[in-house]
């Protein structure tokens, strides 16, 4: 189910003819009644460009939408997984971030529609567990990338690749020293599936703990694309976290999960994918 608010449906075309696949175009904020054994709730714009465009809609997706899917799980006894986010940690004062960290989030900033929306979604999951005994799983997803991303996704790896391929200046916010960790999409999917089939009901960090600065990432992408792009520095956006790194000890010990795709390999595959999209325009 998707309302195609931030996508075109291109990624599901290969499944359209399968008897094991069906697609419903609907906004998650609209109540629904679908019998299911497993529910993965990944609904919500995840890029600042998209979630800040209509912040009220973003909050509704995380709150009203989450209530709607939890009601399905309650009615049919479904197991349900919430795709939460590292943004629940805000601009962290603890590094790396373990699941026990409560976070440092601005509740009234430009990013709070997403950050606090996701935090409220976690609250709803645990209240439904306590009050109605719903079988829940919660994944705190750190930055994820790979083939399948939209051209105008708005997140850093896609932005850098597009700028490098076109020879435009690569936009760095701040001085480029802020760090992130990037998990390749296949690793993330494996982690989500492992969590769903586990017996862990507490939040679990899923991400690649290899930390890289934005300046270094820009240099890597310039090299991999053989680009002539220069780097342009812009002011750091409001509440943009300075460091972000998951502590994945829980996922390693309880799920036997850890990322296997290196950043160099993942970037090469993602660049190849973006080239096919841009060359086909």
SS3 call for 266:
helix
Q: Are 188 and 144 within 8 A, CB to CB?
A: yes
Phi and psi based region of residue 121 (left: phi greater than 0; alpha: psi -120 to 50; beta: remaining)? alpha
Which of 238-260 are b and which e, b meaning 16 or more Cβ less than 10 Å from the residue's Cβ?
ebebebbbbbbebbeeebebebe
Q: What is the DSSP letter of 214?
A: H
Catalytic entry in 40, 89, 101, 114:
114
DSSP string, 102-170: --B--TTSTTHHHHHHHHHHHHHHHHHHHHH--EEEEEEE--EE-TT--TT--SHHHHHHHHHHHTPPE
Q: Are 278 and 162 within 8 A, CB to CB?
A: yes
Q: Are 151 and 278 within 8 A, CB to CB?
A: yes
What is the distance, to the nearest Å, from the Cα of residue 171 to the centroid of all Cα atoms in its chain? 21
89 has catalytic annotation: no
Nearest to 195 by CA among 252, 242, 144: 252
Output the six-digit token pair for 52. Answer: 């800040």
Nearest to 215 by CA among 194, 232, 239: 232
Distance CA 88, CA 101 (A): 9
Residue matched to tokens 């054994």: 37
Which residues are tagged catalytic? 114
């Amino acid at each position: 189910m998707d309302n195609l608010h931030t996508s075109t449906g291109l990624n599901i075309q290969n499944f359209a003819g399968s008897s094991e696949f069906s697609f419903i175009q609907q906004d998650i904020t609209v109540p629904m009644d679908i019998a299911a054994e497993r529910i993965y709730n990944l609904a919500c714009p995840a890029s600042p460009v998209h979630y800040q465009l209509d912040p009220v809609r973003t909050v509704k997706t995380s709150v009203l939408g989450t209530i709607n899917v939890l009601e399905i799980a309650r009615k049919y006894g479904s197991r349900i997984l919430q795709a939460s986010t590292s943004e629940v940690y805000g601009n962290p004062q603890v590094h790396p971030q373990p699941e026990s960290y409560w976070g440092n989030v601005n509740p009234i900033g430009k990013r709070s529609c997403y950050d606090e929306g996701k935090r409220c979604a976690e609250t709803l999951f645990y209240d439904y567990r306590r009050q109605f005994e719903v079988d829940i799983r919660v994944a705190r997803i750190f930055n994820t990338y790979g083939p399948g991303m939209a051209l105008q996704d708005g997140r850093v790896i896609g932005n850098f690749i597009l700028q490098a391929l076109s020879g435009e200046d690569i936009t760095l916010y701040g001085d480029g020293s802020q760090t992130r960790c990037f998990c390749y999409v296949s690793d993330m999917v494996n982690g989500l599936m492992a969590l769903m089939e586990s017996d862990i009901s507490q939040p679990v960090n899923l991400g690649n703990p290899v930390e890289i600065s934005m300046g270094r990432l820009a240099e890597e992408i310039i090299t991999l694309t053989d680009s002539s792009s220069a780097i342009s520095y812009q002011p750091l956006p409001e509440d943009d976290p300075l460091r972000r790194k998951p502590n994945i000890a829980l996922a390693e010990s309880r799920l036997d999960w850890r990322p296997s795709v290196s950043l160099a390999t993942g970037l090469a595959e993602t660049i190849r994918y973006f080239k096919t999209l841009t060359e086909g325009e």
